[in-house]
Amino acid sequence: MKTSAKFTLFLTSIMMFTLSAAANADGTDTSNAAYSKTVHGITMYLGVMPARIILKQYQKASPEAQMHGGLPLGGNNYHVMIALFNSINGKRITDAKPMATVREIGLSGETKKLQTMTIAGATTYGNYFTLPDSDTNYRIDLAIRLPGQPAPIHAEFTYRLCNE
pLDDT at 100 (0 to 100): 96
pLDDT at 53 (0 to 100): 72
Q: Which domains does the chain have, with CATH numbers?
A: 3-161 (2.60.40.3340)
d(CA 33, CA 105) in angstroms, rounded, equals 19
Report the chain (164 residues): mean pLDDT per 10 consecutive residues.
47 43 36 77 91 61 51 73 94 96 88 86 88 84 94 93 65
pLDDT at 16 (0 to 100): 42
Q: For residues 136 and 124, is the Cβ–Cβ distance under 8 A? A: no
CB-side exposure of 80: number of CA atoms within 13 Å? 30
pLDDT at 91 (0 to 100): 95
pLDDT at 161 (0 to 100): 77
